[in-house]
A and B are shown apart, each in its own frame.
Chain A
Amino acid sequence: MPLLKNNALVSDTWLVLGNDDVLPATGDVIVPFARLLRDFESLSRRSGKLGVVFANVDRAETLATFLPRLSAVVLHFSAFNDGRAYSLARQLREFGYRGEIRATGNVLPDQLQFMLQVGFDAFEIGDRFPLQVWQAASKQMSLAYQRGLFRRSAESEIWTERHTDAEPWLEQPHAG
């Protein structure tokens, strides 16, 4: 399934493996968190990139030590109104993680902007809505009151703008 990244469709080059699927010799793979814990040694010896599917009942801090080695974290929305993954994504960014954070499952255009703001940067969007709807949805609001969001090039943070001569918020890694 193609992914939405930086407002464009790109093809998904990752292979998503289950706990006991055979590990290919080359290529980028995404594995369940349990497998990451179990096979971390062998997974990190591979040359391809490594990603993980992280459940929204798992605690972000349990992933922290693996983050330097990861290039993708997949957070799944079983329902669009289950907001746990928003906090998880933001936590990962606060831990300094700069790789891809991908949203899968019930991902809808009207939540896209919030997802971008907390640090998601890749979206499995299916074919329920045309691409233009997604592109429009990603920039409906040009302003945000909150500070420390992850798309400062895209939206202005109102409080920061109002007090531009004040000390900047702690430097945040930008997604993507």
Chain B
Amino acid sequence: MYRYDEFDHQFVRERTAQFRDQAERRLRGELTEDEFRPLRLMNGLYLQLHAYMLRVAIPYGTLSGRQMRQLAMIADKYDKGYGHFTTRQNIQYNWIKLEETADILGHLADVEMHAIQTSGNCIRNVTTDHWAGAAADEIADPRPVGELLRQWSSLHPEFSYLPRKFKIAVTGAPHDRAAVKVHDIGLRLHRNAEGKVGWEVIVGGGQGRTPMIGVTVRDFLPEHELIAYLEAIMRVYNLYGRRDNKYKARIKILVHELGAERFKAEVEAEYARKPQASTEVEERELARIAAYFAPPPFERLPRWSAAFEEARLAQPDFARWARNNLAAHKVDGYTIVNISLKPEGGIPGDATGDQMRLMAQLAETYSHDELRVSHAQNIVLPHVKKDDVFAVWQALDAAALATPNYGLAGDIIACPGLDYCALATARSIPVAQSISRKFADIGRQEEIGQIKINISGCINACGHHHVGHIGILGLDKKGEEFYQITLGGSSAEHSSIGTILGPGFAGHEVADAIDKILETYLKIREPGEEFIAAYRRVGPKPFKEALYAAA
């Protein structure tokens, strides 16, 4: 894992002091709210329905046990004992006081964390594959580039007042778990015919009001050119992105309005025009960072663990959880443990301070002191020995963290929605809870298999509903909440945007509608066919019929 050196420490300390000064000036009335708002947003502080909300960056979703403990401490001391892990691999606290925020930022700085640029019209926290460095299918760990981009984008003087927010995702594996095609910039590592690695640069994907799949502007960019090339893209966007309409200000609209070819030509012209510095420093910096991400000292173990197999036979509950919540590790004898933060009827992504501390302790004891936050709002222990998995499960089970529904119908993504969010048009969490209760039977969830149900409480799409196999969007119709259902979205390597199925539903009708959709799938699927594949084969018709057939 990356560790701060004295520069990083000083940088974050100075930033915290700067925010403390700004907050004090605001409280004294020397700054108006209009002047202060962008300053607090660039430090992750929102004003929500009930209080301030602080969004803390978890760069590329990676955390140490110590950092997780600090997040727990903040939850207990400055919030109401819990935090919410988000679809952007961040954590949010819902009950924060402005007058305490600088202190919290100080506590974060103590453990090499910050809230810089978790909001505002700037480059946001870089996200990546939550299995980075562990996944069996990975070409290379994308996190060194993630860290390089974190540093480069932090308080970038030229790109802090962009037309709109800007999100970058990075993946180093052929199976895309970072959704690189639906980000402002997506970077995908791949190997060319000669076996060299380079980056595909994808621009202009996005969700929100106008979901779009990004276009490739460079197929194979050498790693040391990344920073200079991204500067050219950012400059073109900063200069020519629309600022007249906030709904048309994302880079996807610029790419769309200019056309991919003209956009590309603008970027290439800017790239050619910029004074070409030597990239030696960037190369050396990347090498310096990469050394921190050297794999932990894995033991040489047999692929097969007797302890693990015995526990599976002895304990059906463990066997079920192991079947659903483990993923293949690149090293024999190890596995990736996915901790579901989606208990039946629970709030997706919420964890209490105690749960955070337990996960921290498990990471320290069993996972080389590493945790990950996934964009599906779950926590990952990336490097667990198969021999230890049973002990991990027992500890999780005792803390109500062993829900065996990873990747299944109960593993629902939901944004905070109208229960917390000032921008929401409808609630998301209660809908997730009702669906989760409807599918309480894990046996039924297993029969249905891999499915992504994503819920957003407004068109901003923080719940990624456009790329859910089943997407649910909460809207407001004359003061009443109602929900639109889309089918066929995906954020994986064959990305697609879901299509609206028909008229919306009242909140209490949604779970039944999802039930009908999944019943229909069970009827029409071919052996072994996942929901998304079946949908792509048959299209929306049978689902429409099931939902809207004359009663």
Contacts and interface: CB of A to CB of B under 8 A. Distances in A.
Interface of A: 59, 61, 80-84, 86-88, 90-91, 94, 108, 110-111, 113-115, 117-118, 129, 133, 136, 140-149, 156, 158-163, 166-167, 169-170, 172
B239 A140 contact: no
A113 B14 CA distance: 13
Q: Which 5 A-B pairs rank lowest in CB-CB distance, beginning with the nearest? A: A83-B161, A117-B157, A114-B157, A145-B151, A158-B7
B260 interface: no
B11 A141 contact: yes
Contact of B278 (A59, A61, A90, A169): A169
A88 B236 CA distance: 11
Place the interface of chain B in its size category: 35 or more
B157 A110 contact: no
B351 to A, nearest CB: 31
A87 B240 CA distance: 11
B7 A143 contact: yes
A142 B284 contact: no
B277 A141 contact: no
B11 A143 contact: yes
Nearest to A117: B157
B284 A113 contact: no
Contacts of B216: none
Nearest to B32: A128
B14 A141 contact: yes
Given A141-B155, A145-B156, 10 more contacts: A59-B239, A90-B235, A110-B39, A117-B157, A140-B18, A149-B157, A158-B151, A160-B281, A163-B281, A163-B285
Interface of B: 5, 7-8, 10-11, 14-15, 17-18, 21-22, 30-31, 35, 38-39, 121, 151-152, 154-163, 235, 238-239, 243, 273-278, 280-282, 284-285, 288
B7 A83 contact: no
Contact of A166 (B21, B31, B281): B281
B238 A87 contact: yes
Contacts of B275: 94, 148, 170, 172
A147 B277 contact: yes
Contacts of A169: 277-278, 281
A37 B276 CA distance: 30
B239 A87 contact: yes
Contacts of A111: 161
B10 to A, nearest CB: 6
Given A110-B39, A170-B277, A146 B156 contact: yes
B239 A142 contact: no
Contacts of A133: 30
A145 B238 CA distance: 19
Contacts of B281: 147, 159-160, 163, 166-167, 169
Nearest to B160: A114
22 contacts: A80-B38, A81-B121, A81-B161, A83-B161, A83-B163, A84-B239, A86-B160, A108-B35, A110-B39, A114-B158, A115-B157, A118-B157, A129-B30, A140-B17, A140-B21, A143-B14, A160-B281, A162-B285, A163-B284, A163-B285, A169-B277, A169-B281
Contacts, number: 124
Nearest to B227: A147
B157 A144 contact: yes
Q: Which of B21, B22, B38, B277 has the most CB of A within 10 A?
A: B277
B433 to A, nearest CB: 38
Contacts of A117: 157
Contact of B7 (A80, A113, A161, A166): A161
Contacts of A84: 238-239, 243
A145 B278 CA distance: 16
B237 to A, nearest CB: 9
A169 B8 CA distance: 21
A142 B238 contact: no
Contacts of B38: 80-81
B152 A94 contact: no
A82 B156 CA distance: 15
Nearest to A136: B21
A143 B10 contact: yes
Nearest to B5: A162
Contacts of A90: 158, 235
A9 to B, nearest CB: 20
Nearest to B243: A82
Contacts of B282: 159
A72 B152 CA distance: 30
A109 to B, nearest CB: 9
Given A81-B38, A83-B162, A140 B14 contact: yes
Nearest to A64: B273
Contacts of A80: 35, 38, 161
Contacts of B22: 110
Nearest to B8: A158
A133 B158 CA distance: 22
Contacts of B15: 141
B14 A142 contact: yes
A159 B277 contact: no
A118 B158 contact: yes
A148 B284 contact: no
Contacts of B277: 147-148, 169-170
A83 B11 contact: no
A162 B148 CA distance: 13
Contacts of A61: 273
Contacts of B155: 114, 141, 144-145
Contact of B157 (A82, A88, A91, A146): A146
Contacts of B11: 141, 143, 145, 158
Given A148-B277, A167-B280, A170-B275, A83 B159 contact: yes
